[in-house]
A and B are shown apart, each in its own frame.
Chain A
Amino acid sequence: MEHIRTTKVEQVKLLDRFSTSNKSLTGTLYLTATHLLFIDSHQKETWILHHHIALVEKLALTTSGCPLVIQCKNFRTVHFIVPRERDCHDIYNSLLQLSKQAKYEDLYAFSYNPKQNDSERLRGWQLVDLAEEYKRMGVPNSNWQLSDANRDYKICETYPRELYVPRIASKPIIVGSSKFRSKGRFPVLSYYHQNKEAAICRCSQPLSGFSARCLEDEHLLQAISKANPANRYMYVMDTRPRHRMQSWWATQKDIGRIILNAMANRAAGKGYENEDNYSNIRFQFVGIENIHVMRSSLQKLLEVNGTKGLSVSDFYSGLENAGWLRHIKAVMDAAIFLAKAIMVENASVLVHCSDGWDRTSQVCSLGSLLLDPYYRTIRGFMVLIEKDWISFGHKYSERCGHLDGDPKEVSPVFTQFLECVWHLTEQFPQAFEFNEAFLLQIHEHIHSCQFGNFIGNCQKEREELKLKEKTYSLWPFLLDDQEKYVNPLYSSTSQKPAVLEPNTVAFHFKFWRNMYHQFDRTLHPRQSVFNIIMNMNEQNKQLQKDVKDLES
């Protein structure tokens, strides 16, 4: 609390930036250890978590007072007018401190107390069991086994302890390959498709210089290929753009094989597998831009959204200029290629980017979602995130800026994944057990640091921080509120497709207003069809009970 000089300021105005009548609400602003709270004259409360604050700005003094603009990571923007400059300055400084924590232990998760006992807390953490998930997929089996090579994080610190590899891959092969891959992230199983006996594997880029080759790595890829009895060849999907200026989009119809010019690419200095050394491998580049491009793209999008008096022209040219939807489509196209490779060609696919924890996570998890209806259930989705994002070391704390770290590591990679899922729910409204509110709530909590799931950057770090003993898991919290997140139109039995085949012609991608303007009430339909149908569904259940009671 030592950062807080002023805990309460009265007569503060909250501006509504989209209101046509320039209305503002007057109320009192409170500063607590964890939140900023504004209570207006109608007793309506607006809570803002300090962790959510991305940017605080003090604007030039005006006749009505001192403007304070707060932009949050969940895309809420609030515009306060504080009557006295001194108060404004105090709040501004306090918020600057409170929104940037130096150590993990200062994060909300370590002080959040939902009044549960230790066994309840532990049970919450055990709700999602990845070993169960691998079993459900059908591993271990005759072709795939659990490896103990990384049992103590000796081979790769950012991978989980439990890794599945081809049965014929011996430990020396694994160790050799890990030395040849960036950050030791050698190829491992992400998803196993039982019917097709094909696998999605993931890794990082090979550290190939101009002439380096690694026999163990080649053997590991061979092993992956052999672990698929149905097909002689496998794909290696490099999710990075081939050139800096040119990206490659896989079209829906073209599941083709791109045989890359190994010499040209090696000369370019990037880490690509040299095709000459890897037989039976087909290479596919699906150009998804890097984290810096994505960060900048989102920034531009938010600038467009925040423009006052935005014209239709400026909105669409702003959207085009930001390139955000283009990136979303690139991720989606990559996932579609992945799904098609497995379903149509029965081929296994190895996915990598540079470090194998950003674009690789996006493509593997989205691809699995297209293939497996389980991941479209509420539980299944939680499992998917735990597996392909959390356990495989997506650097949540750095990407979300939980601590006052390197701003260049911040990037909306997971946000993009959630948006891709949202686009799928729009094209296939009955295929998902969960609704948009579920996605928004998860997004809320990757930034809130209220729960331990997304704190830290890899499993090893989370164990070191003792998160399971000191913090709570998000998943039971969401499951308790399940009724809010259920899709009333979900049909688990009827002709909904098992494998989703989205259409990615450009006009299918819309601007996700409910995410990027979540808190700008005036922009949205005043009556939410979804909420009405959800309530009706609930009502129906209640009415059914009533009927039964009355009949007896």
Chain B
Amino acid sequence: MYPFFYRPMFEVIEDGWHSFLPEQEFELYSSATSEWRLSYVNKEFAVCPSYPPIVIVPKAIDDEALRKVATFRHGGRFPVLSYYHKKNGMVIMRSGQPLTGTNGRRCKEDEKLINATLRAGKRGYIIDTRPLNVAQQARAKGGGFEQEAHYPQWRRIHKSIERYHILQESLIKLVEACNDQTHNMDRWLSRLEASNWLTHIKEILTTACLAAQCLDREGASILIHGTEGTDSTLQVTSLAQIILEPRSRTIRGFEALIEREWLQAGHPFQQRCAQSAYCNSKQKWESPVFLLFLDSVWQILRQFPCSFEFNENLLIMLFEHAYASQFGTFLGNNESERCKLKLQQKTMSLWSWVNRPSELSKFTNPLFEANNLVIWPSVAPQSLQLWEGIFLRWNRSSKYLDEAYEEMVNIIEYNKELQAKVNILRRQLAELETEDGMQESP
């Protein structure tokens, strides 16, 4: 595969493989709270093959308990910390579905684990990304959902995020509609609607807003899972962080988010992005889950154009590299595979390339103004738009749009230049005045 042969033509200033290590990320939380700890129980990937070697769990829960909980969760994906909301100490945890099965099996350690995140007398929310009937049917295959009787302090909310081939078909239909270049308005609108792409975006964004509301407005902790906890779960946890945490909207913060919530969290990139996005051959596990996430980020970016340090180009670049790349970052399905493939030693990290100043300038948003806000996107159909930068990229001329963007960048830079000049001149004037002042006084 290409990444193993690729030799970079640029100087590596910072090794992207080491940019976002879990211990460093944990530092950001451990300064604010002592209720959590790093666990190395999975360092041989024996407890959960799709988890990273290091995870964040409640301090009160020991590694033995974690091993037990892993047997109760799909794929061994026991609940771990995804995000800690500094404002009020509430958290987002994620996991796989509980393996309750038809017998109503329970696991006291699992209950203890998630209850450990609750303050005394407070309730939490479990957001199941599957509709109730799907969650119920899952029991026949050994899965299921958290029953009220065993989790009395938790309220369950079901959402309806689609998976697998439904999403892939949606993408195929959308791409076909965009390539159609029809002059028939009815045909275009009906094909756009039939693809359901924006419906999926709306559902994902709505769920992410719900998660964020639980944390920020209700002041409650949440646990998110679907079936496996590797697809819709990650969409929701990462989008919720974009809404809640300004750091996720910076370039480094966003890269860290992708590392944590997608790469290390074990989203199976190899399976999901196996072929090119426009491939028709029905690969069973092929699904544009990551693209839906990027599109959702783009929707929020469009609604809050000054709140993101990066621009659309970064998102488009990530989309491309998830499918085909000279870098090793998106290879493999989880950290275990990446270790086996010795990617760190044999390939280059995408972040090494992106974070070089010459590259960063392409991805930086000139309108960015750092803020501390929680940003709530509108999910009304009128507010969501087709991501032309991806879907119409090769079907329309962007010449005038690009020139307009250039002009906008020029105006902003000129503004900065003038401000700087004015400041210098003002200082000089002030100095002259004080000199005069000093000369005048005897």
Interface residues in chain A, defined as those with a beta carbon under 8 Å from any beta carbon in chain B: 18, 249, 251-252, 305, 310-317, 319-320, 323, 325-326, 329, 427-431, 488-489, 491, 503-511, 513, 517, 522-527, 529, 532-533, 536-537, 539-540, 543-544, 546-547, 550-551
Instruction: Write the chain A residue with the least CB distance to B192.
Output: A316
Kindly identify, within residues 76 to 130 of chain B, every residue whose CB is under 8 Å from any CB belonging to chain A.
none
Distance A451 CA – B295 CA, assembled complex (angstroms): 45
Distance A310 CA – B421 CA, assembled complex (angstroms): 51
* Nearest CB in chain A: distance from B369 CB, A: 9
Q: Are A430 and B392 in contact (CB under 8 A)?
A: no
Instruction: Write the chain B residue with the least CB distance to A546.
Output: B422
* Nearest CB in chain B: distance from A132 CB, A: 31
Q: Are A543 and B383 in contact (CB under 8 A)?
A: no
Instruction: Write the chain A residue with the least CB distance to B190.
Output: A320
Q: Are B386 and A312 in contact (CB under 8 A)?
A: no
Query: Please, which residues of chain B bring their CB within 8 A of the CB of A511?
Result: 382
Q: A511-B382, A550-B429 are in contact. Are A311 and B199 (CB under 8 A)?
A: yes
Distance A64 CA – B192 CA, assembled complex (angstroms): 41
* Nearest CB in chain B: distance from A184 CB, A: 36
Q: Are A529 and B396 in contact (CB under 8 A)?
A: no
Task: State how many residues of chain B have any CB contact under 8 Å with chain A.
Answer: 56
Q: Are B404 and A430 in contact (CB under 8 A)?
A: yes
Q: Which 5 A-B pairs have the closest CB atoms?
A: A506-B188, A316-B193, A315-B381, A429-B404, A550-B425
B142 CB within 8 Å of chain A: no
* Nearest CB in chain A: distance from B423 CB, A: 10
Distance A151 CA – B314 CA, assembled complex (angstroms): 64
Query: Please, which residues of chain B bring their CB within 8 A of the CB of A314?
Result: 381
Q: Provide the main secondary structure of the chain B interface.
A: helix
A-B contact pairs, 15 of them (CB 8 A): A252-B183, A312-B198, A320-B185, A326-B186, A430-B404, A517-B382, A523-B380, A524-B378, A526-B304, A527-B307, A527-B367, A532-B367, A533-B412, A537-B411, A550-B429
Distance A251 CA – B198 CA, assembled complex (angstroms): 29
Q: Are B202 and A312 in contact (CB under 8 A)?
A: yes
Q: Are A524 and B383 in contact (CB under 8 A)?
A: yes
* Nearest CB in chain B: distance from A434 CB, A: 15
Distance A328 CA – B389 CA, assembled complex (angstroms): 24
Distance A268 CA – B362 CA, assembled complex (angstroms): 61
Q: Are B183 and A251 in contact (CB under 8 A)?
A: yes
Distance A544 CA – B392 CA, assembled complex (angstroms): 40
Distance A311 CA – B198 CA, assembled complex (angstroms): 10
Distance A504 CA – B181 CA, assembled complex (angstroms): 9
Interface centre among B181, B384, B411, B421 (most CB of A within 10 A): B411
Q: Are A320 and B193 in contact (CB under 8 A)?
A: yes
Query: Please, which residues of chain A bring their CB within 8 A of the CB of B10?
Result: none
Q: A507-B392, A540-B418 are in contact. Are A315 and B400 (CB under 8 A)?
A: no
Q: Are A510 and B385 in contact (CB under 8 A)?
A: yes
* Nearest CB in chain A: distance from B265 CB, A: 28
Query: Please, which residues of chain B bring their CB within 8 A of the CB of A326?
Result: 185-186
Query: Please, which residues of chain B bring their CB within 8 A of the CB of A329?
Result: 183, 185
Distance A348 CA – B354 CA, assembled complex (angstroms): 56
* Nearest CB in chain B: distance from A533 CB, A: 6
* Nearest CB in chain A: distance from B418 CB, A: 4
Q: Are B383 and A430 in contact (CB under 8 A)?
A: no
Q: Are A317 and B190 in contact (CB under 8 A)?
A: yes
Instruction: Write the chain B residue with the least CB distance to A507.
Output: B188
B175 CB within 8 Å of chain A: no
B407 CB within 8 Å of chain A: yes
Kindly identify, within residues 386 to 423 of chain B, every residue whose CB is under 8 Å from any CB belonging to chain A.
386, 392, 395-397, 400-401, 403-404, 407-408, 411-412, 414-415, 418-419, 421-422
Q: Are A506 and B183 in contact (CB under 8 A)?
A: yes
Other-chain contact of B411, A504, A517, A522, A533 (Cβ < 8 Å): A533
Query: Please, which residues of chain A bring their CB within 8 A of the CB of B384?
Result: 312
B426 CB within 8 Å of chain A: yes
Q: Are B380 and A527 in contact (CB under 8 A)?
A: no
Q: Are A320 and B186 in contact (CB under 8 A)?
A: yes
Other-chain contact of A547, B192, B202, B425 (Cβ < 8 Å): B425
Distance A491 CA – B406 CA, assembled complex (angstroms): 12
Instruction: Write the chain A residue with the least CB distance to B429.
Output: A550
Query: Please, which residues of chain B bring their CB within 8 A of the CB of A517?
Result: 382
Distance A18 CA – B178 CA, assembled complex (angstroms): 30
Query: Please, which residues of chain A bring their CB within 8 A of the CB of B190?
Result: 316-317, 320
* Nearest CB in chain B: distance from A436 CB, A: 14
Other-chain contact of A527, B306, B414, B419, B425 (Cβ < 8 Å): B306
Instruction: Write the chain A residue with the least CB distance to B307.
Output: A527
Q: Are B414 and A325 in contact (CB under 8 A)?
A: no
Kindly identify, within residues 182 to 204 of chain B, every residue whose CB is under 8 Å from any CB belonging to chain A.
182-190, 192-193, 196, 198-199, 201-202
Distance A503 CA – B392 CA, assembled complex (angstroms): 13
Q: Are B302 and A525 in contact (CB under 8 A)?
A: yes
Distance A10 CA – B175 CA, assembled complex (angstroms): 54
Distance A196 CA – B392 CA, assembled complex (angstroms): 36
Q: Mark B302-324, 1 if CB is under 8 A from A, else 0.
A: 11111100000000000000000
Instruction: Write the chain A residue with the least CB distance to B198.
Output: A312
* Nearest CB in chain A: distance from B193 CB, A: 4
B375 CB within 8 Å of chain A: yes
Q: Are A513 and B407 in contact (CB under 8 A)?
A: no
Q: Are A506 and B381 in contact (CB under 8 A)?
A: no
Instruction: Write the chain B residue with the least CB distance to A506.
Output: B188
Q: A312-B202, A430-B407, A489-B407 are in contact. Are A527 and B415 (CB under 8 A)?
A: no
Q: Are B418 and A319 in contact (CB under 8 A)?
A: no
Query: Please, which residues of chain B bring their CB within 8 A of the CB of A510?
Result: 385
Q: Are B411 and A525 in contact (CB under 8 A)?
A: no
Distance A522 CA – B382 CA, assembled complex (angstroms): 11
Q: Mark B193-230, 1 if CB is under 8 A from A, else 0.
A: 10010110110000000000000000000000000000
Q: Are A489 and B381 in contact (CB under 8 A)?
A: no
* Nearest CB in chain B: distance from A550 CB, A: 4
Query: Please, which residues of chain B bring their CB within 8 A of the CB of A251?
Result: 183
Query: Please, which residues of chain A bring their CB within 8 A of the CB of B196?
Result: 312-313
* Nearest CB in chain B: distance from A527 CB, A: 4
Other-chain contact of B381, A311, A524, A540 (Cβ < 8 Å): A311
Instruction: Write the chain B residue with the least CB distance to A541.
Output: B418
Instruction: Write the chain B residue with the least CB distance to A326.
Output: B185
* Nearest CB in chain B: distance from A250 CB, A: 10
Q: Are B411 and A506 in contact (CB under 8 A)?
A: no
